[in-house]
Structure 1
Amino acid sequence: MARKQNGTELNVEPGIGEVRRGILVHGIVQGVGFRPFVYRTAKALGLRGFIKNTSSGVSVEVQGSEDLIGKFLFEVQQHAPPLAKIHSFEVRPMIPVEEDGFSIELSLAGSEVETLISPDIALCVDCRRELADPENRRFQYPFINCTNCGPRFTIVEKIPYDRQYTSMKGFAMCPICDKEYHDPLDRRFHAQPTACRDCGPRIELRDASGQKVRCIDALAEAAALLKDGKILALKGVGGFHLAVDARNDAAVRLLRERKGREEKPFAVMMSDMELVRQFCDVEPEEASALLSPEAPIVLLVKRSMKGLSASIAPGNDRLGVMLPYSPLHSLLFDRGADVLLMTSANFSEEPILHENREAMERLGGIADAFLLHDRPIHIRCDDSVTIFLSGKLRQIRRSRGYVPAPVFLSGGGAPVMGTGGELKNTLCFLKGSKAILSQHIGDMKNYEAWQHFEQIFRHLQGIFQVSPELLVHDLHPGYMTTQWAAAQPLPMLGVQHHHAHLVSCLAENRTDGPAIGIVLDGTGYGTDGMIWGGEVLIGDASEAERFASLEPMPLPGGDAAITQPWRAALGYLFRSFSVLPELPFMSGKPAGLVLELLEKKLNTPETSSCGRLFDVVAALSGICDRITFEGQAAIALMQAAGGSIGREGFSFSFEENAGGLRILVAPLVREIADALGKGMSPGEVSRRFHRTLVDCFLEITLKASQQSGVKTVALSGGVFQNELLFEALIQELEHAGYRVLTHREVPTNDGGLCLGQAVIGRRFLEGRYRGVR
């Protein structure tokens, strides 16, 4: 039987003993060099057949001896290109046909092709070698890349993923680049951002006024400015960084002053792993993450800050570290830099700046110079932040290197979108068995983030060809995401905040539940209109029972009590004592005004928040009474513990009420105040407080399990970024025989909320959603 291949009829008969196999590959296997890799592998083994993109993934048919096909299957699965992520690999027998050679076939015109765009990936080993090779035509070229590395997601405007639909469309390839681009045997086959010094993007240096600096080597000049203590605005892959010499304390303090970032830790970029190990302890898994194609920031335990500015991450035992992940970074370090403070160029949780003109206008009072390039960034994408806890690398901020790689779910269903929360916002589309989460967007209270949210919504909807049947939002009526959903011409569903956290953890673990969800965070709108945040739920995506929660306590002044935790501490004392104790933390504070609010119950919302409880203990202990960045008091309290929790905790107790089991807070506050009054150190208070929470939630879990029969526990919410509480609670729960689910692929904080929302939305469309009771 003759077969047509690319329009040509073939008449090569099958060989004796030949077999044919059909292979369907799902995952990130398009636009990442997978087809040319398969082509080269098949050609090297002398096999016949073809490979092409289809609506179901990448389809391969291969023909030859059983032995050679076995070798082919092994090579494809075990040695795929670094950007390829194979999710499933289906092999089926087929009847041998008449065929000549192996080819890459075009998709049928007009057919829908499954699209999974690769994230932006760090400079690969081959390109790094060429970058340093004086004989290579891309020697020292700041935009070298290939199918195994370079920008992808941030340059894609729409699909199909072809150069004309990327921000590289303005750069016409020279004849040599064009030849490489069309050669299946070349490493740059169909690498859309491929370019060289003759046809690609260029860099330039501008001064603070925006005037071009005339110099022979812009990178060398930029490195010299950094050495001189200047602040450099550097355009990278997904946006601008502000950079200074991390060894220059005056420069670091100047950046803090100009940016208005008083105490929040900065991250650094170090030249190589040898230098990283000089300043930090590095576990093997942490080294693997730093050197990985994703190249995130990793929060490492400090070893020594000698030689670095103490102002980089004050009061913190960890340092955020990344390695040079773009050729531009590598070349800047080659010019003399070895440790640079690198922070996103933005303001107060606004999105990272990404356009040249906008950066020069908005950073004019901060940066002394601008290192720019003319490759447009279509969609901005901040650096990812990770931490290695309890044996796994975990996301704190999921962006560059990971987005838009999907989180694979246990099953499929209708297309749904989750809009996320108000802080650390991300959004999520569900398409089939894939959850596509956006990059970090930020605080939705500012207009720039709102615009960024809308751009990302349109961008992801376009490149993944997904039209949601339902928009799922948080219950809070004042959230901008709730208001955005209400303005769209689509059905919408409000979902309780902590239920979404629980389901997010279940979903990424591909577990349908039910589970006991211990969900601890700062703020979440409850079904009763109160502020929740210390919740134990039992349920799954269809429904959940509020089994237990922290006792509600007053927040005098509302949001003011969040930024000034001494106010919250006074509110907790007011509720816990008939006569207020005298503690040093109140010295010089306008307590009378706050007490008047409490007595008259004016602007004094109540909360069951575990995050606020951390703030209160930190304030009572004199550790932190003013917050300049989210989580500051809780971090300071954890740091005070000195890396360990106590063997003994404070006492805790429960009471039954109509809304479920109540974990009493007032007795705990009284005991902590009494201990401080008797001279207990803040460090010992912190250690005992952490032990109290571990023991308390272990006992609550036991009660929930006895009532429900459930032996699976899911931990979610921003409080579980606290490594002492997180690791100790996991250990105790597992020792007690529970299966413990935690977050790895998506953040445990509100950055993972949208996933849970979207999965709950599917249950709603199936008629199976009953909410939280």
Structure 2
Amino acid sequence: MDIHFYKISISGIVQGVGFRPFVYNLAYKHNCIGEVYNDADGVLIKLGCKDIEVFLDELQALAPPLAKITKITQETIEPFERSDFVIRQSHDANSSTTILSPDIAMCDACKKELFDPTSKRYKYPFINCTHCGVRYSIIKNLPYDRINTAMGVFMMCDACKKEYEDPTSRMFHAQPIGCNDCGVKTFLHVNTTTIQKDTLYHTAELLKEGKLGAIKAVGGFHLVCDATDENTVQKLRQNKHRPTKPLAILVKDFAMAKKYGVFSEKEKEVLLSKEAPIVLVKKNRSDLASAIAPGIDKVGIMVASNPLHLLLFEYIDTPLVATSANLSGEPIITTKEDIEQKLPFVDFILDYNREIINAIDDSVVQVVDEKLCILRLARGYAPLHLKLPKKIDEKVLALGANQKASVAIAFEDNLILSPYIADLDTIESIEHFQSMIANFKRFYNFDFDVVLHDSHPAYESTKIAQTFDTKKVAITHHKAHLLSVMTEPSECVSFVFDGTGLGEDGELWGGEVFVAKERKYHFKPLVLLGGEKAIKECYRVALSKLFEVYPLDEVMELELDVVKRYKSKIPLLYHLFQSKKNLKTSSVGRLFDMVASIVGVLHEQTYEGEAGLRTEALVGTLTREKRFEFTIQEGVIDIAFDFFASDFVERFYATLCSIVITLAKQEEKKVLFSGGVWQNKTLLEFVISELQKENIPYTFNTIVPINDSGISVGQIMEYING
């Protein structure tokens, strides 16, 4: 059979995943000649072979585990003179369509080598190979070559260079390769002393003594302490300005994880996956510090997935708090200098001398209906690549919302969602948001033809959109939510429940039911006493609901904790209620605030969604029959609350479920869920179970976050589909 010559272009996640070494070995297997190299669009192969079909079949079927091929094109070329097959130096280009690879948990082969005393990487805290380790966090530019990463300043020793050039080694062209001789070094800073030997042992000893430290992880520093030490956890909360928001714990392995959380098989699978996220599960025991997750029945757990963390657990046998090192509301810190300046309360800093180029938090997920449901898209999953339903000619930037900010870009048939950024409430988070946009421009080396933003004029993301000298399009918040599910909306009745967002009529929405893309139903608007103050001060929403039902003198006599606690404020708030000069919202999120305050578990929130978590912890047995009465008239949903019901929370959950079932039957369409309220696993799984009984199909966000982090995806979907 004659040799034929081809040029093959491969796009997708094909850089930083061992793809060129894979192609090299595949070519060697089939006696092919030619070359392979990274270019701006992915990987390019110039190939001389006898059977192109077999080669292409195996190229796709046997690709490396971290690779994701999105497109392959081939064309016949003129014959070339070669007698072998080689990996060539990467080619730069003016633009790029390469998909960035996320940072991935350590593979079993690296874990085995990490603890092999005969290996030069024995207990090397930064071991990696072509199948695992850091990627996105160290990339400066594309193509993905060592010189374009934070490893570019580290010279390989002869032994590492030999493995790097050996096609039979799993280190073949592993760009972050290193060892104890030539690789990254750790430094432990305690007061004015710097320790360079046995740093992880000394770190563990400090943690055992009840010290609070900052430890540099993959995408930034963690604040770390013994998760069973009440005093140190309280110290962390006080200094981080995070009074009650749950803290995640880091454990050595699943054996330790199951001591502190109750895991289904699916939750175990996700916990131990290559993405290694924080998984929210039911608490299993009480010997964690009570300050870890006060007032709720869940805990976020992640396993040690990088070699530094795993080595730390060689010297300590308790779970550790591992929360982003920052002040509440600010981005994660990536440098020792910023730790010293912003978090001077830490007792020690464990640093290393490789720069973090792209800061990234830990992902947070839960399992709902046996499906992965991402709440914070970050390390392991992001940047997230999705395929658009059709090709587009423009290059589009979507700026999302204001809370849980993310950005997304779209070009050709690609959509790429950034990692979680932050709430855009501080100068630092706004700067981080802008740097994410700049990073995408740098990676893909093109200007945007269109900038999409939320319709709320006061959002920082909207203000940033106005700085672009290009076409700008506003997309309404809740329409973006429903389209973020990436399901054909005409087939659905969509329940978009969240905290707040500007509606198409200029009012504050948050409890909307769409048929196709038209809002057909909504909850009766609540009065927000004091405007935006009511978003954090739940008692204001509770009192406004009481004012709807009772005159002032009767409210003052009600045997409710919210009345007793805020009695002195009630006359003034009632006067404000009567003035009719208040913001209103149809938000279901605010209904949860009201419920939490009525039952007395929460009157003032310290973090978004706290009311939902607090009420969820109170839920007992749920049945659809145990509900409040409600009416749906002229599209307005009105619940008749019994404020003195002993099972108030359960009845509220059952009422929301009954509303969904009623409208789903009425509209005879698939049910779609989106919006932050549906992060409430108890509510969502209860509604799903009732839909299943009625044989009603349903869908909800899984890989794209169900909260505002998914808004940028929905903005793009609305724009391209009109």
TM normalised by structure 1 equals 0.87
What is the rounded CA distance, in whole Å, between the counterparts of 1:318 and 1:109 in structure 2?
48
| Per-residue deviation, residues 130-159 of structure 1 (Å, max 9, x unmatched) | 111111111111121122222111111222
Matched, 1:584 2:560: yes
Task: Report the Cα distance in structure 1 between the residues aligned to 2:440 and 2:168, rounded to whole angstroms.
Answer: 31
1:439 aligns with 2:413: no
Q: Distance in 2 between the 1:236 and 1:595 partners?
A: 51
Contact between 2:39 and 2:143, CA under 8 Å: does it hold in 1? no
Q: 1:197 to 1:633 in 2, by over 3 A?
A: same
Aligned twin of 1:607: 585
SS of residue matched to 2:594? helix
Judged with a 3 Å threshold, the aligned counterparts in structure 2 of structure 1 residues 534 and 354 are, in CA distance, closer, same or farther, namely: same
Output the CA distance in 2 between the equivalents of 1:111 and 1:419.
24
Aligned position for 2:613: 635
Q: Where does 1:418-457 land on structure 2 (aligned, <5 Å)?
A: 418-457=398-437
**Amino acid aligned to 2:665:** L
1:93-151 deviation digits (Å, cap 9, x = unpaired): 99999974544456667575531121111112121111111111111111211222221
Q: Write the letter of the residue equivalent to 1:138.
A: R
Partner Cα separation in structure 1 for residue 510 and residue 559 of structure 2: 27
Tell me the alpha carbon deviations over residues 510-553 of structure 1, each in whole angstroms, 9 at most, x when there is no partner. x46453221000101112221100001123xxxx3211111112
Letter matched to residue 572 of structure 2: L
Corresponding letter in the other structure for 2:332: I
Residue aligned with 1:410, SS? strand
Amino acid at match of 1:36: P
Return the alpha-carbon distance in structure 1 between the equivalents of residues 432 and 663 of structure 2.
Answer: 41
Distance in 2 of aligned mates of 1:645 and 1:87: 45
Q: Which residue number in structure 2 is paired with residue 343 of structure 1?
A: 323
Residue identity matched to 2:21? P
Q: 3-state DSSP class of the match of 1:412? A: strand
Q: CA deviation at 1:252?
A: 1.8
The aligned residue for residue 384 of structure 1 is 363
Could you tell me which residue of structure 1 aligns to residue 638 of structure 2?
664
What residue in structure 2 maps to residue 733 of structure 1?
Answer: 691
CA shift at 1:721, angstroms? 0.6
Cα distance in structure 2, aligned partners of 1:113 and 1:455 = 19
Q: Does 1:460 align with 2:440?
A: yes
Shift of 1:483: 0.8
Deviations 1:427-463 (A, max 9, x none): 1111222211111111102100000011110001211
Kindly indicate whether the alpha-carbon contact (under 8 Å) linking 2:332 and 2:360 is maintained by their aligned counterparts in 1: yes
> Residue type of the partner of 1:517?
S
Q: Which residue of 1 aligns with 2:513?
A: 536
Identity %: 37
Matches within 5 A, 1:287-686: 287-305=268-286, 307-365=287-345, 367-413=346-392, 414-506=394-486, 509=487, 511=488, 513-539=490-516, 544-578=517-551, 580-581=554-555, 582-585=558-561, 586-589=563-566, 590-602=569-581, 604-642=582-620, 644-645=622-623, 647-656=625-634, 661-665=635-639, 668-669=640-641, 672-673=642-643, 676=644, 680-681=645-646, 684-686=647-649
Residues 57 and 309 of structure 1: CA distance in aligned 2, closer, same or farther (over 3 Å):
same
Counterpart CA distance in 2 for 1:503 and 1:748 is 11
Letter in 2 for 1:732: E
1:254 corresponds to 2:235: yes
Per-residue deviation, 1:253: 2.2
Q: Residue 12 of structure 2 is aligned with which of 21, 27, 47?
A: 27
Q: Is the 8 Å Cα contact of residues 519 and 535 (structure 1) preserved in structure 2? A: yes
2:660 to 689, 697, 703: 697
CA distance in 2, matches of 1:646, 1:536: 20
Q: Is the CA contact (8 Å cut-off) linking 2:624 and 2:658 kept in structure 1?
A: no
Equivalent residue for 1:134? 117
Deviation per CA, 1:641-684: give whole Å up to 9, x if none: 1364554211110111xxxx11124xx23xx22xx1xxx32xx2
Contact 1:227 1:245 (8 Å CA) reproduced: yes
Task: Give the 3-state SS of the residue equivalent to 2:360 in structure 1.
Answer: coil
Residue ranges of structure 1 left out of the alignment (5+ in a row): 1-13, 706-710, 764-768
Deviations 1:200-248 (A, max 9, x none): 22111112x4x23346311111100000110011011100100111122
What SS is found at the alignment partner of 1:176? Answer: helix
1:297-321 CA deviation, whole Å, 9 max, x = no partner?
111222223x322321222222111
How far, CA to CA, are the matches of 2:69 and 2:296 in structure 1?
Answer: 38
- The amino acid across from 1:29 in the alignment is V
Shift of 1:631: 0.9
In structure 1, C-alpha distance between the alignment counterparts of 2:250 and 2:91, rounded to whole Å: 46
Q: Which amino acid aligns with 1:272?
A: D
User: Which residue number corresponds to residue 39 of structure 1?
Assistant: 24
- Determine if the alignment matches structure 1 residue 119 to structure 2 residue 77: no
Show the counterpart of 2:710: 752
Q: Is 1:426–1:439's contact at 8 Å kept on the other side of the alignment? A: yes
RMSD over aligned CA atoms reads 2.6
Deviation at 1:76, TM superposition (A): 4.2
CA distance in 1, matches of 2:623, 2:275: 33
The 8 Å contact of residues 187 and 196 in structure 2, kept in 1 or not, is answered as no
Task: Give runs of aligned pairs for residues 36-75 of structure 1, distance below 5 A.
Answer: 36-44=21-29, 46=31, 51-53=36-38, 57-59=42-44, 70=54
Instruction: Find the aligned partners of 1:35 and 1:761 in 2 and give their Cα distance.
Output: 36
The one-letter amino acid paired with 1:523 is: T
The structure-2 alpha-carbon separation of the partners of 1:111 and 1:560, relative to structure 1 and needing over 3 Å to count, comes to closer
- In structure 2, stretches of 5+ residues that fail to align are none
Shift, 1:411, TM fit: 1.8
For 1:455 and 1:295, the matched residues in 2 are separated by 26
SS of alignment partner, residue 432 of structure 1: strand
Question: Is 1:199 paired with 2:182?
Answer: yes
TM-score between both structures, scaled by the size of structure 2: 0.93
Q: Distance in 2 between matches of 1:412 and 1:597?
A: 53
User: Distance between the aligned counterparts of 2:612 and 2:91, measured in 1?
Assistant: 57
Are 1:425 and 1:441, in contact at CA under 8 Å, matched by a contact in 2? yes
Read off the aligned partner of 2:520 and give its amino acid letter. Answer: F
- Which residue of the partner structure matches residue 673 of structure 2? 715
For residues 238 and 96 of structure 2, the distance between their equivalents in structure 1, rounded to whole angstroms, comes to 50
Amino acid at match of 1:300: V
Taking structure 1 as reference, are residues 493 and 614 closer, same or farther at Cα in structure 2, changes over 3 Å only?
same
Q: Quick check: 1:54–1:112 contact (8 Å CA) kept in 2?
A: no
| Gap change, CA 1:458 and 1:470, over 3 Å in 2 | same
How many angstroms apart in 1 are the aligned matches of 2:720 and 2:380?
28
Matches within 5 A, 1:69-108: 70=54, 76-87=59-70, 100-104=83-87
- Cα separation, partners in 2 of 1:551 and 1:693, compared to 1, 3 Å: same
Determine the C-alpha separation between the residues in 2 that align with 1:58 and 1:376. 26
Letter in 2 for 1:653: T
Superposed displacement of residue 485, structure 1: 0.7
Deviations 1:441-500 (A, max 9, x none): 111021000000111100012112342211111111111111111122122111110011
- SS at 1:395's partner residue? strand
The 8 Å contact of residues 54 and 114 in structure 1, kept in 2 or not, is answered as no
Tell me, yes or no, if the aligned pair for 2:496 and 2:512 is still in contact at 8 Å: yes
Per-residue CA deviation, residues 717-761 of structure 1 (Å, 9 max, x unaligned), is: 000011122122233335445432211111100010111112223
Q: Contact between 2:95 and 2:444, CA under 8 Å: does it hold in 1?
A: no
Cα distance in 2, alignment partners of residues 432 and 154 from structure 1? 25
Task: Specify the alignment match of 1:6 in structure 2.
Answer: none
* Counterpart code for 2:25: R
**Cα pair 2:96 2:444 within 8 Å, conserved:** no
> Cα distance, 1:640 vs. partner?
0.7
2:559 corresponds to which letter in structure 1? L
